[in-house]
Each structure stands twice: as C-alpha cells, then as structure tokens.
Amino acid sequence: MKICLITSSTKKIDWEDFGYPEWIDSTAPNHRSYAKKWDLEYIASLVDGSLVGDRHPTWLKIHEMIKVSDSNRWDWIVWIDADAVFVDDSIDIRQWLTDDCNWVLPKMQPDSEHGKCWTKLSTGLMAMRVNHKTCNILNRMWVNPDEYRWGGFHEQSWIDAHFNKRMSTNTNLNEMLLEDLEEPLQLGDLTVLPYKYHLTTLDREIPFVFHAGGDTPTKHERIKKALCI
C-alpha cells in the first residue's frame, strides 16, 4: 500500500497581516520524521494565497489533495494541516486505512470556550483512498463549494453536509455531542475516529496529533509546547 502524507500552507498568513507561517519550521520536520518511520512519502508545499481564488484559504487542502491524487502514484493520501503535529509517532495511521473504507476523518473536538462542536467532522487530519469515486468528490468540492466557499467552516462544512445522511444514524455525531466516540466508527466507506486522536487543546494527554487551531500568534508556541521543544 503506497501512502503519501501531504501538507501545505500559504506563504503569507493574511489574518491581521501575520505573514510567514513560522510554525512550519517545527511542523515540517515532525511530519517528515513520522513519514520516514512509517514508510510514507511526504510532500509539503508553500503556495501563493491566490491559488484558492475566491474561496477561503482553508480550501487550499482540497486543491493540493486533487493535485496529488491526479498523479495516480499512491493508494492513499493522508492530509495533515501545516499547524498540526504528530505528538505520539508510535501510532501507525495505516491501521485505519482498511479495504472497506475510502475516507478517514476524526470527530470534531468541542470548543472548550463555547462548549459545543461547530462541525461533526474535522479536516485537520484526514485520509482518502485514491479512486474514481473519491476523486470525483474532491473535484465536486472544488468546483461547487456552494455556500461554503466562505460561509460556515468552509471545506469542513461541505464534507459534513456530504456525509450527513450516514452520520445521522449515529446519535453522537448526529446531535454533535460533547462526549467523544469510544472507538473508531465505520459508516459505509467513512471511518470516523474519536477526537482524542486529533486534539486542539493542550489540557489533556495527546495520544496522536495536536492541531494548533485558533489564535494565530500563539500557534508556534503551542506547537513547541506539545512537542516539548
């Protein structure tokens, strides 16, 4: 099974004219180390923000996943946001890339400040099997972002809407409960991981990935804290 781990960021963070995404100086070596350990190809890129056109910058991940999948060199693509890191590299993501699955995404961790889940799934870490069906979905997302071009949580809300019918069969996901899933949940060709595998806070033990979403000026500081550097 050939797997490519990919990430990307714009060269300049426009939010409050922040500029260069300094955290990639810590996250890129971390990604590269994880990929080497588990024999994954690793592709990282810095691109111009104009690449996403009139979409929100987070749509960049869909553009890059399409570009990599079009090469038809890999069986799976694993995306990790450029401001996320593997804290525990003893976990092999391949355990969830099963023959009867096309997509792997974590449940969204509740926002500790507001006490709610803003979406059902998170795209900060996600895996996609490369085949005709999944590539068609990616292209539909890019061509027809609909109200999520800038609205909602952008590509994450689009994916929520796409998988909404099958997630409606699970109370935890359907009602966006604060409690985590007890174990990975398979819904058709979608596997939903417990959010403990993709945490956005530092207030608990991190068993796999830490994603420094939220406040941009403190991203690098929080990443270094998660990595104990």
pLDDT, one tens digit per residue, over 151-206 is 999 999 999 999 999 999 999 999 999 999 999 999 999 999 999 999 999 999 99
Q: Which residue has the higher pLDDT, 215 or 40?
A: 40
Closest CA to 23 of 200, 210, 221: 221
Average pLDDT, the chain: 96
The Cα–Cα gap between 53 and 119 comes to 24
pLDDT above 80 for 214: yes
Confidence band of 229 (pLDDT split at 50, 70, 90): confident
pLDDT above 80 for 1: yes
pLDDT above 90 for 20: yes
The Cα–Cα gap between 126 and 133 comes to 16
> What is the structure's pLDDT at 72?
85
From 20-29, 142-151, 211-220, the region with the lowest mean pLDDT: 211-220
| Mean pLDDT of the region 123-144 | 97
> What is the structure's pLDDT at 224?
97
| pLDDT above 70 coverage of the chain, percent | 100
Tokens of 77: 């693509």
> What is the structure's pLDDT at 15?
78
Q: Which residues pair with 191 in a beta bridge?
A: 104, 186
Q: Which residues pair with 186 in a beta bridge?
A: 191
Confidence band of 16 (pLDDT split at 50, 70, 90): confident
> What is the structure's pLDDT at 120?
98
* Segments in the chain forming alpha helices (H): 24-37, 60-70, 132-143, 155-162, 164-167, 171-174, 219-227
Supply the angle between the helices 132-143 and 60-70 in degrees, to the nearest 10: 140
Instruction: Count the helix, strand and coil residues of the chain and give each as a percent rounded to the nearest 5.
Output: 40, 20, 40
pLDDT, one tens digit per residue, over 51-106 is 999 999 999 999 999 999 998 899 999 999 999 999 999 999 999 999 999 999 99
Give the CA dihedral 72, 65, 25, 96, nearest 10 degrees: -80
> What is the structure's pLDDT at 207?
96
> Quick one: CA dihedral 70, 30, 83, 111, positive or negative?
positive
